Structures are given as C-alpha cells and as structure tokens.
Amino acid sequence: PSMTTAEIRSAFLSFFEERGCKLYPSSSLVPDDPSLLLANAGMNQFKEYYQGKKTMREIGATSCQKCVRTNDIDIIGSDGRHASFFEMLGNFSFGGVSKEQACAWALELSTQVFKLPIERLYFTVFTEDDEAFEIWRKLGVAEDHISRLGEDDNFWAAGPTGPCGPCSEIYFDQGEEVGCGSPDCHPGCDCDRFLEFWNLVFTQYDRQEDGSMPELPHRNLDTGMGLERMAAIMQHKSSFYDGDLMRGLIALGEEISGVSYVADDYDGPSRSLRIIADHARSVDFMISDGILPGNEGRGYVLRRLLRRAVFHGRLIGIEGAFLGRFIDAVNEAMGDAYPELLKNDALVKGIVDAEEERFSGTLDTGRVYLDEALGGLADGAVLDGATAFKLHDTFGFPIDLTVEIAEGAGHAVDIDGFNREMEAQRERARANVKGDAWGSFNDVWTELSDSVSATEFAGYEDEELEGAKV
C-alpha cells in the first residue's frame, strides 16, 4: 500500500501509544542541553530519563522529533537519503520495555502496518551483541539477513559524553538497480541500495569525561525511524526527494530556474535543486524555533545553510531573490503538522529576505572577480592562494565556495597559499590592534571562519562542520 508522510507519522505514533507509550511533542530544534548545538535525534529531550534524573510513569514514550544534522551537510543533494532537516519517529523506554519487546514491535510495525515484505528487510547488530542477533533470529528473521557492524555504524552516542550503547539497524533492500552495483554491496554500504530506515539503540552506558562507561541506572531503549525514508519506501521511490513531501519543493525549483530535475543526476543542476529544497526546510524550521543568522554556533549553521541555498540558486541560473517562495512552499506542505511555521511566517520571511539580499550582493561582485581570475588561467592551472584569499577577505567568499566554482571550471585552488595569507592577515591584525583596513571588514564569512575553531565548535560538532562543502 502507498501511504502519505502524514499517514506514516500518525500510524507510527498510534502504534506505540496503543502499546502504552506516552506521546510527546517534538522538542524545539534548540535543545535544552548545553552540550548539544541542535536537536539531532528523538532521544535528545529524554536525556535526563536515561540518566535516571527523571522517571516516567508510563512504560515508555513516543515522538516525532524535528532534527537538524550538521554532519550530513556535505552529502546533501548527492544521495537520495540524507537531509539536513528531517523528522525522526521514535519510541523510548527507561527500563520499562525489554530488548526483545522493542525488536518485536519494530518488526511488527514494519511488516504488519507498513507491510514491508520480510524478504526485503535486513538487520545489523553490533559486533559483540550476540543477544540482539538471537532476538532477530527467534523473531523469524533469516540468519543471512542479519549481519554484524562495528562501532562506526552500530554503537550510538549522544555526544562525547552521555548515554550510549549498541545499536541494531533495519534496512530495506531497494534492489540491485538502485545501488552501487557491486557484488559486495551490503547493509551499511555507502550507496542507496540498502536503505537504513530504523535504528534501535540499546542505551545502557553513560560515557564520562574520562572515557569510562558505567552502566546507566536502567537498560534503556531509544529508537529512531526516519520519516522521509519510510515515506520514500512506502511510495516506491528510491530517493525521498521523489516522495510526496519533497517533490513539490523540487518542482518549485524547476519552475523558478527553468532547469529540469533528473532523479539520478547527483552532481549537476539536480543536486542544486535538492540542496535548495532541503536547506529551505532547515532554514524555515530553524528560524521558527528562534535561531537567527549569526557568526557562531547555531546561527552560523543557519547562515551557512541559507547562503548555500542562495549560492546553488545562482549556480542553476536563478536571478534575484527566491528563497521566500520556498518558505511559502515549506509552510504549505508542513504547516499542518508544525503550526509554529505558520505562526512565525512573517518573521522567517523577513530574515530570509534580508540575508539573501545581503549575500547576493557580495556573491555577484565576487563572482565577477573570480570568473576573471579563472579566465586568465591556462587549462588545468591552479588558482593561487592570494586570489582565493582576496575573494574571502574582500567579497566574503568562503574558501569552499571558491573551490567549488574553481573545480567546476577545471581548476584546483592553492589551499596552502590561502592558509598562509590567512595567517599573515591574523598577524597584521594582531600588530595593529585598531586594525583599520582589516577591522573594518565585517563580512560574516571571514568572522565565521575565524570563529569556527575558536568558539562553540569544540568536540564533535567542530569535526562535523569542518570541511563541509558549500
């Protein structure tokens, strides 16, 4: 059967409510937790339950959580399954639901409610988790559909410290024609064939600053199912950009740019259409939750997403402001489920328009300068660091934007040279505290590239953002 995104959302939540889990609304994207930049999983709002600081009367909880993941920013648009903003359906328990029960429910929902054929489902467990392996086997899963994956895939942690534990993931086999085509393709492969749609985390440890992992007060359960991914499966689409929720945003991009969307084009203009559609959702939800564009922390993530969307609009030939129309389209598609979007509509559009205008100006002037520089290069020659630095310093071009444009024209960029110029500028700024020439320059990209290492991006968030392509 085919199900809409809204139907899947409500089927999931009712399933767990009927089994005694209490329904919680999504928390804000701004977490009530200083160790976390943005809400990135359903369990965020339940952290204190895991830690035993709070207790719940019911056996468990269920929710549909708004998530933004910065670690995926790089790959957005280049595959059919990663978004920067997505909804995570989940069920949670803090000692009230056993591992067997959790797996049984996941299998029941997948095969009885969503009616996915069990032959197309694959399961992974953590290398050392024999218990989970046995559970799936006893539930009737064929042994050759269960595999073991190591820490990277199957050990979950909320962050550098805090609740963590082994995972078991459920994958849907989209068929050979969808993926990399390699005979070695397997659940956990980077391609889209085996689509991970559900992750069951058996959160049983609480990692400390010193790396030790004492048991949490209870054996906890934290599961997350990607709504967009399940929608794609239920709608027989190998990419969620072709599902009911995103298709309208892609179509809007086609209409404004005149570019036609090609589902399996992952490098060209269709990648830009996906990036714009995806980033528009993040921008809308982030501003609605009170985040403003800025130079550090979540404001920086927002600004980066917003400007990247504008940049990709230019890449596919859109002239003039366009992001506001995407905000309208997101609101139309999602305002029923998220009334905060409608409530904050005017605020969001005002901010988006102002940012877009400001960025478009520098982008256009910088682009002329860059195109001239590239035009003067021999075929395949490297763009020098001084020019890349001037683009950064005078026109507010982030280095990764310069690299992306230069690569498109067949030129690499001298990154070492660029870094030397940056360092020299810092020296000059230090020598000249008033910094007239340097201090007057206030484009955000310069400030933010400096602030990334200096401020809130300590720990894993820093790694996630570093190297993210514009």
The residues that touch ligand ATP, with contacts defined as CB under 6 A, are 69, 72, 81-83, 86, 88, 196-199, 224-226, 228-229
Report how far residue 315's alpha carbon sits from residue 397's, in angstroms, rounded to the nearest whole number: 14
CB of 176 to ligand ATP, least distance (A): 19
The option from ligand ATP, Mg ion, none interacting with 306 (CB < 5 to 8 A, set by class) reads none
What's the closest the beta carbon of residue 201 comes to Mg ion, in angstroms?
8
Region of 413 please: left (phi>0), alpha (psi -120 to 50) or beta. Answer: beta
Q: In the complex, what is the shortest distance from the CB of residue 446 to Mg ion, in angstroms, rounded to a whole number?
A: 30
Q: Binding-site residue total for Mg ion (CB under 5 A)?
A: 2
The mark string for 146-185 relative to Mg ion (x by CB under 5 A, - otherwise) is ----------------------------------------
Give, in order, the Cα–Cα distances in Å from 322 to each of 130, 155, 227, 312. 53, 41, 27, 11
CA trace torsion 12, 13, 17, 23 (10° rounding): 160
**Least distance between ligand ATP and beta carbon 226 (Å):** 2
62 or 154: CB nearest Mg ion: 154
State whether the Cα torsion 7-31-286-467 is positive or negative.
negative
Nearest CB to ligand ATP, comparing residues 26 and 257: 26
What is the DSSP-derived secondary structure letter of residue 164?
Answer: E
Q: How far is the CB of 170 from ligand ATP (least distance, A)?
A: 8
CB of 434 to ligand ATP, least distance (A): 45
User: And the tokens for 112?
Assistant: 């009885």
Minimum CB separation of residue 227 from ligand ATP in Å reads 8
- Give me the residues paired with residue 147 across strands: 124
Under rule CB under 5 A, residue 238 binds Mg ion = no
Span from 87-95, 198-206, 265-273, 340-348 in contact with Mg ion (CB under 5 A): 198-206
Closer of 87 and 289 to ligand ATP (Cβ): 87
Compare residues 153 and 345 and give the one whose CB is closer to ligand ATP: 153
Q: Residue 298 binds what, of Mg ion, ligand ATP, none (CB under 5 to 8 Å, by partner type)? A: none
Closer of 179 and 226 to ligand ATP (Cβ): 226
We find the least distance from the C-beta atom of residue 356 to ligand ATP, in angstroms, to be 24
Q: Are 418 and 388 spatial neighbours (Cβ–Cβ below 8 Å)? A: yes
Q: Which residue number, 225 or 302, has a Cβ lying nearer to ligand ATP?
A: 225
Phi and psi (nearest 5°) for 123? -130, 140
Residue 199 binding Mg ion, by CB under 5 A:
yes
Which structure tokens are listed for 69? 């993941």
Q: Where are the alpha helices (DSSP H) in 70-204?
A: 99-108, 130-138, 151-154
User: Judged by CB under 5 A, which stretch of 190-198, 304-312, 439-447, 458-466 contacts Mg ion?
Assistant: 190-198
Neighbours of 275 (CB within 10 A): 25
Residue 197 site contact among Mg ion, ligand ATP, none (CB < 5 to 8 Å, cut-off depends on kind): ligand ATP
From residue 375, alpha-carbon distances to 83, 226, 388 in Å are 35, 45, 14
Query: Any idea what the Cα angle at residue 110 is, between residues 104 and 115, rounded to 5°?
Result: 130
Show contacts with Mg ion in window 314-373 (CB under 5 A): none
Identify which of residues 194 and 322 has a Cβ nearer to Mg ion in the complex: 194
CB closer to ligand ATP, 168 vs 295: 168
Nearer to ligand ATP among residue 69 and residue 411 (C-beta): 69
Torsion of CA 254, 8, 306, 348, to 10 degrees: 100
| Two structure tokens written together for 358 | 């400001």
How are the residues of the chain apportioned to helix, strand and coil, as percentages rounded to the nearest 5?
A: 50, 15, 35
Taking the complex as a whole, the smallest distance from the CB of residue 105 to ligand ATP amounts, in Å, to: 16
Answer with the entry of ligand ATP, Mg ion, none that 228 interacts with (C-beta below 5 to 8 A by kind). ligand ATP
Shortest Cβ 175–ligand ATP spacing (Å)? 18
Nearest alpha carbon to residue 71 among 10, 157, 139, 149: 157
User: φ, ψ for residue 278 (rounded to 5)?
Assistant: -65, -50
Stretch that binds Mg ion, among 11-19, 194-202, 426-434, 457-465 (CB under 5 A): 194-202
For residues 464 and 454, give the distance between their C-alpha atoms in angstroms, rounded to a whole number: 15
Distance CA 457, CA 470 (A): 18
Q: Is the dihedral of CA 315, 317, 320, 323 positive or negative?
A: negative
Q: Which is nearer to Mg ion, 24 or 171 (CB)?
A: 171
List contacts with Mg ion (CB under 5 A): 196, 199
